[in-house]
Every structure is written in C-alpha cells, then in structure tokens.
Amino acid sequence: MKKVIIVGAGISGMAAGIVLQRSGFETEIYEKNPVPGGELTGWKRDGVYIDNCIDYLMCSKKGSDMNGFWHDIGMLKDGLKMYSKDVFFTYKGHGGEITFRRDKERTKSDMLKLSPDDKEAIDKFFENVTRAESMIMPLSKPMDKMGLRDFMKLGDFAKNVPAAQKAYKGVSVKDLSDSFKSPVLKSAVLMTHPEQTQAYSFIMSYAMCTSGSGDIPEGGSLAAATRIADRYKELGGKIHVNAPVKNVKINGKIAEGIVLEDGTEVKADYVICATDANHTFTHLLPSEYMPKKLKKCFDDHEHFSVFSKFHAAFLVDCKTSIPADTSFWESEGIKVWDKVHKDIGMICYDYDPTITPEGKTILQMKLFQYADDVDKWFELAKDREAYEAKKNEIASDMIKLIEKQYPETEGKIHVLDTWTPVSYAKKCNAYRGAYMAFVADKDTKTVTTPGVVKQLKNVFLAGQWLMGSGGLPPATAQGKYAAWRICKKEGVECK
Ligand SMILES: Cc1cc2nc3c(=O)[nH]c(=O)nc-3n(C[C@H](O)[C@H](O)[C@H](O)COP(=O)(O)OP(=O)(O)OC[C@H]3O[C@@H](n4cnc5c(N)ncnc54)[C@H](O)[C@@H]3O)c2cc1C
C-alpha cells in the first residue's frame, strides 16, 4: 500500500485524506495546530462558542456533486439540522433599507419600490443572478484535466455562468455600486465584498443564496471540522496534531517524505502540501518551484490583492431585536488606522440555539482590512500591550455603535474576543493574514492553478489558494483533485 503524507489538516488536506483512504492508500496528516480544521474553526471564550468560518455554506442544497461530496466527507450528514439562510443580508442607511433575500422576486420588487429609476440596473442584476445560479463546482477530475466533453456535461453551467461573467466583464463591485442611482442600493452592494473585486463575485454569492444554498449546519464551523476529521479517522487515517512540518525532504526529482520542526523525518511515497501557498513555497518547498500561474498572482499586486478582517465577538446579557442574520447599517463610524468605517456589519448567531446560551445573544462584528491596514497590524503586534490596547479600543467603539442602534443592549454587552490579520498568520501561516485567496480585480481573470509541482514527480498541491478567491468549496475540490492525481498515477479508481 502506497503511503501519502498530507501537510495541513484544513478542509482541503482532510478532503484529500478521505478520498485517498477510500481509494486504498495509507495516509497521515501532519497539522501544526492542536485541533484540525484550519480556517474552518471556532473556539470558546468564557465558556461561550465563537464561530469563525461558515457565514454561508455553498452547495448546502441537495442535488449537486459538491453537496454529495459534503456528505462524503462529513461536512453534512443526513438528519443534521440546517439553519436556513433566507436572508443574504440587510442594509439600513441613507434613509432606507434593503434586504437581499433568497426570494428573488420579493427582493427585486423591494428594490424597484425603493428606486424605480434604477429599473434597468436592477433588471440586469437579477437576469445575471438567475444565470449565476447555475454555478457548480466540478469534482470528477481536476479542471486542467477536463476536456470539451467534460465541460459539455456541465450543462447549464457552461452556458449561463460565462454569460453572467460576460455581462459584468470589466466591472468591479464599486462600479456595480455606482451603476445604481439609489444611495441605499449603492451602499448595500459594497457591504460583503472588497470594492475592487469583480462584480460577478457579488452576483455569484447572492445567487448561491437565491438558488437555495448557503444554509448553515448546526453547531457551526468547529462541529463541521470535527465531523470531517472523524470521518477521516474512521477510514483509518491518522492526524498528528501539534506537529508543524519544517520542509519536504527532496532528493532530485523525488520527495522522500517530510521533516518535522522537531527534526523527525517521516518517509512517504507521495506528499500533498495542503497549506497556504505562500507558506508552501517559502518553507516547505524551494521558492523557485512555485507554479508560474501562482507566482503571477503573488507578484501582480495591481491585479491580485488579498484582504483580511478585524473581528470582535460579543456576548449580550439579554435577547435583543437584532435579526438573527447578517445586517449592516450606516453609522457615525469607527476609525481604524486612517479610515473611518461608516457602514458597519454584524452577525447575530441567534439562529443556532445549540451555540447561543439561553437568554443571551452572541454577536460578531467584522471590518475589512486591506494591504496598508494589515501592515500596521503586523507592526503593532510587535508590542503586545499596544496591540491588545488597540483591539480593545476598537471593540469598545463597536459596543457604543451597537448600543446606539439597539438601545436594549445598553450596559449588557461584553467583549468575548478580538482578532486580527495577525491571528490568521500565527494560527494557519496565512499569507498577510488573508483567510481567503486572491481577489482578482475587474481588469483580469481569476486564476486556477493546477496543483502540480513541475520539478517533483510525487508532490502535489491542495488548498484554497489554487482556485480563484478561495472559500470552502474550492479548498475542498482542490483536496479531491490532489487525491485524483495520485490515484491516476497509481492507476487506481479515485473513490
Ligand atoms: C472568518 C471567516 C469566514 C469565512 N467564511 C466562509 C464562508 O462563509 N464560506 C466559505 O466557503 N468559506 C469561508 N471562509 C473561508 C474558508 O474557511 C477557507 O477557504 C478554507 O477553510 C481554507 O481551507 P484550506 O484547507 O485551503 O486552508 P487552511 O484552512 O488554511 O488549512 C491549512 C492547514 O495547514 C496547517 N499548516 C500550515 N502550515 C503548516 C505546517 N508547516 N505544518 C503543519 N501544518 C501546517 C494550518 O494550521 C491549517 O490547519 C471563511 C474563513 C474565515 C476565517
């Protein structure tokens, strides 16, 4: 039986491990953290659970290959309660309010009522949201191995998705915002994605909701990561936690195995690096082995950027009128570094009673942090006290805004935790603290990089950084693709 070592127990590494175990390989995953899951995670503070991933689960609706794969790996299982995301998000500001609902007709009619002058832009938007509902994640084989026939089998996807992409070619989220006359709609479409992102990304995310997906499994992200790790272990896989890998051991064109940070060497027939791509090619493998396509994304800062967020989680000592969803509102603003964030957003976790203590409310606020902001966080983190003080200051400002918007919370909000881009870099070796992959701007195309290392015959890549802007489905698909490549080499069926 051939042995495969996987570096990183994120969803991508675990998905690769599950497929390989099922296909008859012996696999072991080495993970630096004490808990598997990587960015798919959550933790407790003061006994209260803080979720830190699934805001929307793509392909949560039955019927697609990806949904089938969610069941295969344990992300979902029959009988597991799902919390419905009937509301994508709500925005209140500029004297109005709009809710992007799963119900497209209602949302469209609300938008038209709010701004009849925007009819043309609204019609175009919904026409393309409908097209984008055909979006699927091909799983049968890596996309670079797909031929015309494979693409033909994708049916509506192959017809509708490129049409929607074409309709918004060269249009950023900021341009989409500018295409509306209504100040409410202008602001609303800027809430969920960085401004320079292609407008299509926003359309696709909303289409995920209108197509009936985006629901959240009970227990949130940590429970999902635990189910996936359990599925892998049930199949005979071994996860070594607290086991950071120093590098892949290379001899000519072959990897002999891995070397752990403590100097232990482990031999293998194949190695999959399922880690952040920058970490892979600055620590695990020689930097000159980085695939050209990937290097282009890292080098071309004009067209490919990354982002992170400042987060704060709060416990409120009462039930509130805050909707159990994602909501944004116009406020007097919070100053972080040089920027005042006027429109602020919050998630209220009341929808899942298994994570919300009785009679209380869990809230989370997040603020986008881009290149310069991220640099400042890394600089500040060198002084622990100043770093903590800055986080606490922002969290206090957030509390004031929540209390103003929802007066019933006054004096009842406690900070559970605060975290920054630095936290992601420390925890998952995430490049510049980014927890998603590259944001391609409107003048370029999103890039998918085949997970192969040209110079090495038995090393494959997985992880979200190989596919577009990342996220759970791309990360998971890349894990499957890495397993597929090994099965193909060995001439065995990929199960
Ligand atoms: C706040 C937040 C919200 C999100 N919301 C969503 C959402 O709603 N929907 C969605 O689809 N996606 C969402 N995502 C993104 C999603 O979490 C990621 O795309 C996905 O989890 C990435 O998986 P991965 O396996 O590629 O990488 P990772 O999760 O980063 O896994 C890599 C693993 O490798 C380990 N590692 C790194 N270096 C080493 C080393 N040297 N040795 C051993 N182990 C190592 C890391 O610790 C980590 O466990 C969100 C993420 C965050 C943080």
Give pLDDT tens digits for 226-269: 999 999 999 999 999 999 999 999 999 999 999 999 999 999 99
pLDDT at 156 over 90: no
**Which residue has 């295969």 as its token pair?**
72
Give the per-residue pLDDT at 288.
98
Residue with tokens 């944001």: 439
**Rounded mean pLDDT, 31-38:** 98
Average pLDDT of every residue of the chain: 97
33 lines ligand 1 (CB under 6 A): yes
State what percent of residues in the chain have pLDDT above 70: 100
Within a 13 Å sphere around the CA of 56, how many CA atoms are in the beta-carbon half?
23
Q: Which atom of ligand 1 is nearest to the CA of 57?
A: 9
Q: Are 215 and 84 in contact (CB under 8 A)?
A: yes
Q: 136-161 burial string, b = 16+ CB within 10 Å, else e?
A: bbbbebbbeeeeeeeeeeeeebeebb
Q: How far apart are CA 32 and CA 426, in angstroms?
A: 11
> What pairing do the DSSP bridges indicate for beta strands 326-336 and 339-348?
antiparallel
CATH architecture of 3-79+219-301+447-490: 3-Layer(bba) Sandwich (3.50)
Q: Both tokens of residue 50? A: 């803080």
- Please compute the mean of the pLDDT values over residues 198-202 and round it to a whole number: 95
Task: Indicate if ligand 1 lies below 6 Å from the C-beta of 56.
Answer: yes
Residue 152: predicted pLDDT: 84
* Ligand 1: nearest atom to the Cα of 245: 42
Task: For residue range 281-316, list pLDDT tens digits in order.
Answer: 999 999 999 999 999 999 999 999 999 999 999 999
Question: Quick one: which atom of ligand 1 is closest to the CA of 246?
Answer: 41
CA dist 222 → 29, 49, 345, 420, 474 (Å): 18, 9, 23, 19, 19
Q: For 385-412, what is each residue's pLDDT tens digit?
A: 999 999 999 999 999 999 999 999 999 9
Contact call for residues 14 and 232 (beta carbons, < 8 A):
yes
- The 10s digit of each residue's pLDDT in 84-131 is 989 999 999 999 999 999 999 999 999 999 999 999 999 999 999 999
What are the structure tokens assigned to 264, written together?
Answer: 């232990």
Residues 107 and 87: their CA atoms lie apart, in Å, by 10
> Residue 395: its pLDDT value, please?
98
- 214 C-beta closer than 6 A to ligand 1: no
Q: Is the CB of 352 under 6 A from ligand 1?
A: no
Q: Rounded CA gap, 27 and 16, in Å?
A: 9
pLDDT at 355: 96
Answer yes or no: are the C-beta atoms of 115 and 182 closer than 8 Å.
Answer: yes
271 pLDDT tier (thresholds 50, 70, 90): very high
pLDDT of residue 154: 86
At 327, list the tokens.
Answer: 């909501």
Q: To test the ligand 1 pocket, which listed residue (242, 435, 467, 469) has its Cβ within 8 A of the most ligand atoms?
A: 435
**pTM score, whole prediction:** 0.97
- In tens, the pLDDT along 162-180 reads 999 999 999 999 999 999 9
The predicted pLDDT at position 148 comes to 87
pLDDT value of position 151: 85
What pLDDT, in 10s, does the model give residues 452-477?
A: 999 999 999 999 999 989 999 999 99
Q: Quote the tokens at residue 103.
A: 């119900």
361: DSSP letter: E
Domain boundaries for CATH 3.50.50.60 within the chain = 3-79+219-301+447-490
Q: What is the CA radius of gyration of the chain?
A: 22
pLDDT at 157: 87
Assess contact for 448 and 246: CB atoms under 8 A. no
Report the C-alpha gap between 451 and 145 in whole angstroms: 11
Please tell me if the CB atom of residue 51 comes closer than 6 angstroms to any atom of ligand 1: no
The per-residue pLDDT for range 337-362, each reduced to its tens digit, is 999 999 999 999 999 999 999 999 99
User: Residue 153 has what pLDDT?
Assistant: 85
